[in-house]
Chain A
Amino acid sequence: MITAVLSTAVAFLLFFGKLPLPALIPLCIVLGVLIALLNRHHHDNTLSIDVLAQISRLNKVNPGLKLSALLIAMISCVASQTVFTGLFLLVVVCLLAVCAGGLSLHHYVRVLALPISFLMIGTLALLFAVSSEPLGLLSFNVFGFWLSVTPDTQATAALVVSRAMGAVSCLCLIGLTTPMSEIIGVLRRLHCPEVVIDLMYLIYRYLFILLSVHREMRDAAKSRLGFRNFRNNVRSTGMIYSSLLSRSYHFASRNYDAMESRCYSGGIVFLEHPAPIGAAQVVVAVCLVSACLGLCLSSFLLPTLLPY
């Protein structure tokens, strides 16, 4: 809901003065309602991205290829001087996730909603210039100062929001289609330090164990009225976290025993055979990367052709 309201406000202010009001208002309302509809149903599922990555059809794509293509796209999006790179990525990545990855649009919007609401708050701040007298298109008097929307602030905000949305959607696509173990595998092949890799494997695994232990302890506390009032709540939370800490030490030593019993002698190594690189994957990746690089370069070379 917050995301929808914020996005509507930002869209209104971005296009204020560029579109006639009778067209702008219904457009913004439609946008807000659309986002609100797609973003309904919040479940208490913090790690749904991981679940979605496990079932995505795109997790069969070679992770190295996928990561490098999306990273290049992301960098060119952030570097570019035009809003079109970001908008292009926003649309293409959404299509890739939904059509190629088999993810529902509803899920995709839900995952994207959280970063977007942060983004929208930031954009609102960028849209207003502070001055001592009313400027530009729209001004509000706040405690003797004037907050005004000017064509300049509109341009900056549009560029920032498009860059950020493009980059965030690339990151989301990586997260939504690549299981963590594959990402760590790519980092290993890039010769990331062994300690970091080992820690990443263990942290990823223990995240789930600690979460489930935490959920159990919280439910047990709830069933004994541990969250009845504020005082109780604070006390139970403190107790849960302290015993979670001692449990994690216990887990760590147990786990180390188990690793030793399987002949562990420093360095976690697993058998890995990343998915082979297919011709279709290469074609899509090359098209995506060249389109982004092209848009980015042309925004430097032909600033007049591409506004913003």
Chain B
Amino acid sequence: MDDTLLQVEEIDFSYSESYRALRKVSVAFAEGEMVAILGSNGAGKSTFFLCCNGVLRPQSGSLYYRGKKITDKKEDILTLRQGVGLVFQDPDSQIIAGKVESEVSFGPMNLRLSEEEVKRRVDEALKQMNITQYRDFAPQYLSGGEKKRVSIADILAMSPSMILLDEPTASLDPQNSEALEALLNELNRAGITIVISTHDVDFAYRIARRVIVFSEGCILADDTPEKVFAATEVLKQAGLKRPLLYEVYESLKQTLSKPEGHSDPDASGADARPKTIAEFKNYLDRRQCSLYRLPKDQGPGSLG
């Protein structure tokens, strides 16, 4: 695998003797991927991210960044931290400067870049996150959504090849979280590998092309969203639910295909699965029914 960006091999991490946060976790991320990491609270997602970024050193196992093993040497760790950016869940634990512009410049300044280069990167990151108008603001006067953008700009300014986001939508309102989703898709199209930890299954279903399920420090499943959400046992063990649209689609598909007797034309490709409301409406249109005009004897009442 040439395009493997980060490879994690059998890492173990414990905070104390009794609490093993990660047990023999092995996973690889390729360039340009969009991955969601699902798991309940305390499943080890945040610890995993801190290990991937080199803040926590796993007690055993190893990390490879672009095929190169990361040792305890300072240069190795700095390369890892530059290449794999980590956006913390709470922007307030990340933001340290008294001004947005200075805040974003912290990472590139630590990379010992020239002043012009730092300035160029800060400008670009602010522009990408749409916060150029706040550059002279103090972070304490920004809203939650704006602070989140600042914390992502912080990482973008270091021009990483991969960004880990810890619960990015946890404290955002629907509008901000929609905007964030669009931004993440845009970054991914620009070639940056995005890994998101979340317990919002609907969000993960919409955005990710690969889903990894964590439970009690182990990886339970690592597959396409369709396959992961089809695995009832895995979801039960990890304490997760199915995405709403997945459930609705499944029920609807069953009901709609029964009387016709022939095979479902959509069953061939997994891409046909509607993941957003718009796609879902399209799907209904293709099946010649609308949300309000289902075949009579199979009205919404018979779906459940």
Q: Which stretch (A218-226, A263-271, A300-308) binds chain B?
A: A263-271
Residue of B nearest to A54 (CB): B138
Judge whether A184 is part of the interface by a CB distance below 8 angstroms: yes
Question: When the two chains form their complex, are residues A264 and B110 in contact, meaning their CB atoms are under 8 A apart?
Answer: yes
- For the complex formed, measure the closest distance between the CB of A237 and the CB atoms of chain B, giving whole angstroms: 24
Q: Is the C-beta of B119 less than 8 angstroms from some C-beta in chain A?
A: yes
Contacts of A254 in B (CB 8 A): 88, 90, 93
Which of A3-11, A94-102, A201-209 is the interface stretch?
A201-209
How far in angstroms is the closest Cβ of chain B from A69? 22
The answer to whether B86 and A261 have CB atoms under 8 Å apart is: yes
Chain B residues in 8 Å Cβ range of A271: 101-102, 105, 108-109, 115, 118-119, 122
Give Cα A251 to B97, complex, Å. 15
Pair A180/B158 contact, Cβ less than 8 Å: no
Point out the residue from B93, B102, B111, B118 that lies within 8 Å of A181, measured CB to CB. B102
Within 8 A of A (CB), among B95-118: 95-99, 101-103, 105-111, 115, 118
Q: Tell whether, in the assembled complex, residue B109 and residue A201 are in contact, meaning their CB atoms are under 8 Å apart.
A: no
Interface contact A181-B158, CB-CB below 8 Å: no
| Contact partners of B85 in chain A: CB under 8 A | 261-262
> Which residues 16-51 in A have Cβ within 8 Å of B in the complex?
50-51
- A262 and B92 contact, CB distance less than 8 A: no
- Cα(A205)–Cα(B50), bound, Å: 23
A 240-267 binary contact with B (CB < 8 Å = 1; else 0): 0000000000010011011111111100
B94 close to A201 (CB less than 8 A): no
Residues of A within 8 A of B90 (CB): 254
Interface of A: prevailing SS: helix
State whether the Cβ of A179 lies closer than 8 Å to any Cβ in chain B. Answer: yes
Measured CA separation A50–B137 after assembly (Å): 11
Q: Is B71 an interface residue (CB 8 A)?
A: no
User: Are B110 and A258 touching (Cβ within 8 A)?
Assistant: no
- Pair A251/B141 contact, Cβ less than 8 Å: no
Is B225 in contact with chain A by the CB < 8 A criterion? no
B283 to chain A, nearest CB (A): 41
Q: Which residues B144-183 have CB closer than 8 A to chain A?
A: 154-155, 158
* Chain B residues whose CB sits within 8 angstroms of the CB of A251 once the complex forms: 93
Q: Is the CB of B138 within 8 A of A50?
A: yes
- In whole angstroms, how far apart are the Cα atoms of A212 and B143 in the complex? 13
**Residue-wise interface mask of B (233-244) relative to A, using a CB-CB cutoff of 8 A (1 in contact, 0 not):** 000000000000
> CB < 8 Å: which of B92, B110, B141 contacts A209?
B92
Cβ of B99: which chain A residues have Cβ within 8 Å of it? 179, 181, 270
Let me know if A258 and B88 touch, CB within 8 A.
Answer: yes
Q: Across the interface, do B110 and A261 meet the contact criterion of CB distance under 8 Å?
A: no
Contact of A255 among B81, B93, B107, B141 (CB under 8 A): B93
B residues less than 8 Å from A50 (CB atoms): 138, 140
What's the nearest-Cβ distance from chain A to residue B239, in Å? 25
Q: A257-B55, A261-B55, A262-B106 are in contact. Are A181 and B97 (CB under 8 A)?
A: yes
**Complex: how many Å from CA A251 to CA B99?**
20
Total count of chain A residues near the partner, CB < 8 A: 32
Q: Is B197 an interface residue (CB 8 A)?
A: no
**Contact pick for B158, options A54, A262, A272, CB 8 Å:** A262
* Interface pair B98/A180, CB less than 8 Å apart: yes
Checking A212, A261, A265, A272 against B102 with a beta-carbon cut-off of 8 angstroms, the contacting residue is A272
1/0 per position for B50-77, CB-CB distance to A under 8 A?
A: 1001110000000000000000001000
Complex-state Cα separation, A268 to B111, whole angstroms:
12
Task: Name the CB-closest residue of A to B113.
Answer: A271
Q: Take A179-B99, A205-B139, A262-B154 as given contacts and tell me if A269 and B93 are in contact as well, using a CB distance cutoff of 8 Å.
A: no
- Complex: A212 Cα to B142 Cα, angstroms: 13
Residues of A within 8 A of B103 (CB): 270
Q: Is B82 part of the contact surface with A, judged by Cβ < 8 Å?
A: yes
Q: Which residues of B contact A270 (CB under 8 A)?
A: 97, 99, 102-103, 105-106, 109
- Minimum distance in angstroms from B80 CB to a CB of chain A: 10
Contact B111 A263 (CB under 8 A): yes
Given A54-B138, A54-B141, A258-B88, verify A205-B95 contact (CB < 8 Å): yes
Verify if B78 is at the interface (C-beta below 8 Å from A): yes
Pairwise interchain contact A201-B98, C-beta atoms closer than 8 A = yes
Residue contact A205 to B98, C-beta cutoff 8 Å: yes
Question: Are the CB atoms of A259 and B111 closer together than 8 Å?
Answer: no
Given contacts A181-B138, A261-B55, A261-B86, contact A202 B158 (CB under 8 A): no
Question: How far, in angstroms, from A262 to B107 measured CA to CA in the complex?
Answer: 5
Contact B96 A54 (CB under 8 A): no
Chain A nearest CB from B161 CB (Å) reads 15
Which of B108, B115, B138 gathers the greatest number of chain A CB atoms within 10 Å?
A: B138
Complex CA distance for A184 and B96, rounded to whole angstroms: 14
A63 to chain B, nearest CB (A): 12
Q: For A258, what are the chain B residues with a Cβ–Cβ distance below 8 Å?
A: 86, 88, 93-94, 96
Min CB–CB distance A168 → chain B (angstroms): 24
For this complex, 6 residue pairs linking A to B, each with C-beta atoms less than 8 Å apart, are A50-B140, A254-B90, A255-B94, A265-B110, A269-B106, A270-B109
Known: A50-B138, A251-B93, A263-B111. 19 other contacts (CB 8 A): A54-B138, A54-B141, A179-B98, A179-B138, A181-B97, A204-B98, A209-B92, A212-B140, A257-B50, A258-B93, A258-B94, A261-B55, A261-B85, A263-B158, A265-B78, A265-B110, A268-B106, A270-B99, A272-B102
Residues of B at under 8 Å CB distance from A? 50, 53-55, 74, 78, 81-82, 85-86, 88, 90, 92-99, 101-103, 105-111, 115, 118-119, 122, 137-141, 154-155, 158
